[in-house]
Amino acid sequence: MNTALLPNTMPEGPAPPSKEPRHTRWQDVSLEPLKPLIDRQLIVGDNIMVARVLLKKGAFVPMHSHLNEQVTYILEGALKFQIQGKEIVVAAGEVLTIPAGMPHEAVALEDTVDLDVFTPPRVDWMTGTDAYLRDQ
């Protein structure tokens, strides 16, 4: 896959500020199946997005990059990332920050619950145009 920045990952501009806080339970957020070993849930704020990504052992996220800064927090399990020619294993309780525009890929070393935070929100994830992550 070409590791050029993926199109359609950025909103057109900052969202207007919300007037009210929102409280959400993950159990109330629909689970979106992406491929047999990966499901996710999204909660989107004005200028930030959090995704709960459920990966079964062996799930693979191919090399990609985006204009959104990313923070990955592993709640359970472990992911092995390839970034800038380095292998980085992120296990439960650990956090990885990925700068905007940096190509990366990951594989689940075991069943994993991953919390990804993006700023600004990933438009491609919100609109389902994230083909790199679906049925490949």
pLDDT in tens, 25-54: 999 999 999 999 999 999 999 899 999 999
Residue 58 and residue 107 in contact, taking contact as beta carbons nearer than 8 Å: yes
Write down the pLDDT at residue 60.
97
Q: Among residues 72, 125, 119, 121, which one has the least CA distance to residue 81? A: 72
Q: Where are the domains of the chain?
A: 47-133
Write down the pLDDT at residue 2.
47
Write down the pLDDT at residue 14.
65
Rounded CA gap, 93 and 128, in Å?
29
Q: Which helix (H) or strand (E) holds 70?
A: strand 69-76
Residue 133 and residue 61 in contact, taking contact as beta carbons nearer than 8 Å: yes
Write down the pLDDT at residue 1.
43
Write down the pLDDT at residue 58.
98
Rounded CA gap, 88 and 50, in Å?
22
Topology given in CATH for the domain delimited by 47-133: Jelly Rolls (2.60.120)
Write down the pLDDT at residue 7.
55
| Maximum separation of any 2 CA atoms in the chain, in Å | 44
Residue 97 has pLDDT above 60, yes or no: yes
Token pair belonging to 111: 């069943």
pTM here? 0.88
